[in-house]
Structure formats: structure tokens, C-alpha cells
Amino acid sequence: MISTGIIFLGFALAAIALPLWFFQQSSGKSSSIMRNLLWVGLGAYAIGAVMSPAAMDVKFSGAFRDFLVLAVIGLGANFLVKNRILFILASIAGVFALGVYYKNILVPSFSVNATSSTALELAKDAELLVELAPNSDLEKFNKVLGKYGMVAQSAFAPASADMTELDDYLVVDIPQNQLANISAIKQELNDTGIVDWIEENEMVTFDDPVQSNKVNRINKKFGINDPDVEKLWSFEAMEMDKLYNYIETKNVKPKKKALIAILDTGVDAKHEDLSANYKSFRGKYDDDPRGHGTHCAGIAAAVSNNGIGVASYSRDNRFAQVASIKVLSASGMGTQQTIIKGIIEAADKGADVISMSLGGLSTTSRQKAYTKAVKYALDKGAIVLAAAGNSNRNAKDYAPVNAKGVIGVSAVDANLNRAVFSNYVQDINMGIAAPGVDIYSTKPSNKYAIHSGTSMATPYAAGLVGVMKSIKPSLTSKEAYQILSKTGKSTKANAETGKFIYPYAAIKTLVEQ
């Protein structure tokens, strides 16, 4: 890798110039040439480090380590110049040591696969995702697997394999007693010459909802008979009656019933306010031991005008329905692999919208598999949305919201302030805002509850995009974002949140464009 070569050349130049500088000084000769070479080496090292694709915290820790090594070299040289024989022997040993340092320490630290020393938790039985070059000879690869007692198997099975390289991915299980060697394992796998990419299979969780008992009651019925609509401040903020009236007066008709896939902990398919708007992919996805996915499903597409519970984006339920894909366990945990498999499955089953109220801290340098999965979904006609996250940080450091092609959703409160917990989306290519504080929605066993989080904001945006896709099935992710952003309301912090979704204006623009 070019950046790693520049780093090494700079480090090697500095490591050689530094002791020679001390040597010349002790001999009473001019040391300006060596001093200048030292600065050139340090400058080259800095340029290479900046170019490196490693995570930012890894760059800082690697640079700190390398400068500490140079400081030790300087102190040693200053001491050894008093004994020329020891100085020469130490210099010869140092040249050999540079080669070892380059291969075993410097390259792994600044490679594309370099991860933080405080790395996130990895999947216990599938720690690595490895992309192989097409038509690879696996002999060398299998030797590395055997050396460490590892097992590899296919990671993904997209139905349209000709549209993606995801079928070239393997998931590798590293034995517990070999996890300390993960950096060496990645390097040896790379050295086989058939590996295009390696990234950690990180654990992922849903955006833990902020529990609340607060109800922001409103005094509007919006022309529907659902009794709990008075608990939906979001409907008032989004002026949902304007959307309903526009659809009816303009006789807006869907060209298809859009399918919104909720990738989460499952959905209670029998819920009184969801069953009529629910499509089952698999029976095992149709319950929800955690309740998170069911809450999201009710926000996106609860049955309106049925005299029960809450409502969604149309009075007659013609425009969208929800489906479930379980990518998280009952504990709310999943992996990068399970999320990507969920995206692939949703796309293969014809989902028009994919809604992911989940994620975790990560870096853009480790998003190749996510990006390929999102591209696969986009190419099959889906629009992908993901929660910005609930850590009051920059969403660009969270996955999968930071993957290219994803519409990221931040959360705002009833006064259109950015929610205190919401990550900000100004560095996400497509960032918007939706209601995410004190949100009343469905829970398993015909129950309802109030939660807060970007988890809640995401299905609000997904539900609206579902209506848009039903009216214009060819709508792309970029087109949807442009409409939502152009027609959205301003928040109290537009730069941080993106525009607040305004359903009436978005649908009107789509219909009349």
C-alpha cells in the first residue's frame, strides 16, 4: 500500500538520520545534513499517516508509538556515540530491526484493516468477514486457516449474485485461544494474495430507546377514528391532516402497495393495529420477544381508521404495508453479518423500503461490506434508511448509517429541537430529521408504549418514503432524499439534524413534479 510505504520510508529515514546526527555532533562535524534528513523523514511519515485508511484513533496511537521509538533511538545513540564499536554494532542491529518492525508492527498498524485498540465486541463464532478475489486458489488460504484452527464458510447468498460481489465473502471463526493473534491472522490472510478485503464482524444493537411515560396530548382527530391519535404530537407537527386531505381531494392513487421491511427484533404479526397491514416473509420473523421492532412497525404503518390504537400515513391503508426480518436477537444484539444478510433478504423479497433502527460505533474505513449490501438493495429498487444513533455524537462514526447510499435519520422533539440524545447528521451524505421523542406506538400482545430515540424517528421517515414509493415505484434513494430535504421544515438546528419531514409537501411535490 502506497501510504504504508511512505510511512516506512519516512520512519526509516528518521531512524537512520537521528543517530548519525548525534554521531556527527560527537565528532565535531557539521550535522545540518542529517538534521535536514531527519525533518524530511518526519514529514514523509506524517504525510503517509494522513493518507492511511486506518481509523483515526489508530493513526494517533501508531504515531505516538513510533515517535516514542524514535525518542528511544535518539537517547540510545546519544549514549553509544561515546563507544564507537558499540555504536556501529547497534547500528547494524538496528537496520535488521527496521525490517522486523516494518512487517510486524508498522504495516498492521496503518493498513486498511487496522482497528482501534479499544475495538468493539466481535461476533463470538464469526469474528472476521473476508472478501476473496473471484476464482481464487484456496490452498494458501486454507493453510492459514489450519495453522490457527479457524473455520470459514460462506457469509452471504444473494439471489442475484451477478449484481454484487457479496457472494465472495466468507465469515471466519477464530478459536478463543487465538483471538490475541487477530492482527497477525489478518496479515497472513492478506499475504495469501487472494484476499481483497478483511473487516471485523462487529456486534450491533438497536438504538436503545429512552423510556418515557410522558404523553404530549393534542386536540385534533385528523379525520380518523383511531382513539390514541391524541397521543401523537408527531401528527400535529407533520400536519398529517393536510396529507390526508391532499390524497383524497386530488384522488392520489398508489401504483403499488409499497413494502416496508423492518430489520429489527421481529414484529408481532398478530397485533390488533398491525395485522391488517402486515406481510409475513417467514414465520420465525412474526413475533417480537423484545418489542423494539413492533414499536417501529406501528410508527411506519399502523392500521388507520380501524377504531383501535394509533394510525399512519393514509386514512385507507392503501399505500404501504410492513414486513419483518429478524436481524437482532431477543437481547437486542446482532452482528454486521446478520444486518447485511437482512438487507440482502429484504432486497431479494422485493422490499421497497428498508428501515433499520439499529447500529453501532464504527468507522467509514470498515464499511465496504455494508456499502456493497446497500448498493445491492438500491440496485434492486429499494430505499434504505438507518437511525443516526443515540449518543449525541457525529453519525459519520456509526454504522450502518454512515454507509454510502443510506438516508440517515436524526430525532427531534415536539419543539423541533434536536433531541438531546440524537447523533447529528451534517456529515452524512443524506441526512433528515423526524419525530423521535415521546413517541407512542404498538408493542407486542396488543399493547402500546412511549419510547424516544432515533429508532423511532427512522420508521417515521421510512413510512413516508413507503407512500412515496407506492406513488412512484421507480423513485430512487437520491430522489427521495432530495424531495424530503427540499420540502422539509426547518428545525432549531438544521445543520445538525437535516430538514424535518413534511409529508404533505413531499407527496404534493412528488405528484405534481
294-310 core/surface letters (b: 16 or more CB in 10 A; e: else): bbbbbbbbbbbbbebbb
Q: Which of 66, 207, 226, 264 is catalytic?
A: 264
Q: Which of 109, 226, 292, 357 is catalytic?
A: 292
31 in catalytic set: no
Q: What distance in Å separates the CA atoms of residue 227 and residue 248, rounded to the nearest whole number?
A: 22
Q: What is the CA radius of gyration of the chain?
A: 28
Cβ contacts of 38 within 8 Å, gap of 6 or more = 13, 14, 17, 18, 21
Cβ 384 vs Cβ 374: under 8 Å:
yes
Q: What is the DSSP letter of 335?
A: E
Closest CA to 274 of 343, 323, 338, 212: 323
Q: What distance in Å separates the CA atoms of residue 235 and residue 470, rounded to the nearest whole number?
A: 21
The number of residues in the chain equals 513
- Cα angle 504, 507, 510 (rounded to 5 degrees) comes to 145
Closest CA to 198 of 235, 166, 169: 169
User: For the residues of 110-127, what is the DSSP string, one character each?
Assistant: HSTT---TTPPPBPTT--
CB atoms closer than 10 angstroms to residue 501: 27
Cα distances (Å, whole numbers) of residue 153 to 145, 168, 172, 374? 11, 11, 7, 22
441 in catalytic set: no
Cell of 395: 453519525
Closest CA to 506 of 295, 290, 281, 238: 238
271 in catalytic set: no
Q: What distance in Å separates the CA atoms of residue 263 and residue 158, rounded to the nearest whole number?
A: 17
Q: What distance in Å separates the CA atoms of residue 87 and residue 76, rounded to the nearest whole number?
A: 9
Q: What is the DSSP letter of 489?
A: B
Q: Which of 312, 452, 455, 470 is catalytic?
A: 455
Closest CA to 382 of 160, 51, 86: 160
Cβ contacts of 154 within 8 Å, gap of 6 or more = 167, 169, 170, 171
The residues carrying an active-site annotation are 264, 292, 455
